[in-house]
């Protein structure tokens, strides 16, 4: 079946540091890949997505590239801010079937001033 594996958190960084949150997936066919962000006490918001191999999703300074050869979709940001503190979820939507999202376990990011 489909699965998503994320690096365990929390990840603690100083402001302006470089961020990488690793995400790898297992899926049949050609899934679409997503990163969602959850701020404290809120629901999930779509951060970025990529729908085919080598696509790069980007938003708010975050980027992730769909790497089919390594089945990865790592999230990166060059300079984090305190306001980026949140839980980040990697997810996939399969190319066929019911299309329900499969989520990773989430990675908590804490950015210190």
Q: Which stretch binds another protein (CB under 8 A): 12-20, 60-68, 72-80, 100-108?
A: 100-108
- Which one of 21, 23, 44, 64 is in contact with another protein (CB under 8 A)? 44
Nearest to 7 by CA among 112, 108, 82, 81: 108
64 binds another protein (CB under 8 A): no
What tokens appear for 103 in the block?
Answer: 């989520």
- Which one of 22, 51, 85, 110 is in contact with another protein (CB under 8 A)? 51
84 binds another protein (CB under 8 A): no
φ, ψ for residue 55, nearest 5 deg: -65, 145
26 binds another protein (CB under 8 A): no
CA distance 109 to 107: 6
| Cβ–Cβ under 8 Å, residues 61 and 76 | no
What does the binding site for another protein look like in residue numbers (CB under 8 A)? Answer: 30-32, 34, 36, 41-46, 49, 51, 89, 93-95, 98-106
């Amino acid at each position: 079946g489909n699965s998503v594996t994320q690096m365990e958190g929390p990840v603690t960084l100083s402001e302006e540091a470089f961020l990488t949150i690793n995400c790898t997936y297992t899926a049949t066919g050609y899934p679409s890949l997503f990163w969602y962000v959850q701020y404290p006490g809120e629901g999930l918001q779509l951060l970025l997505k990529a729908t085919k191999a080598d696509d790069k999703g980007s938003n708010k300074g975050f980027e992730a590239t769909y790497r089919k050869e390594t089945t990865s979709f790592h999230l990166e940001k060059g300079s984090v801010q305190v306001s980026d503190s949140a839980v980040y979820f990697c997810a996939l939507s399969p190319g066929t079937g019911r299309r329900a999202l499969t989520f990773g376990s989430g990675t908590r990011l804490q950015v210190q001033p």
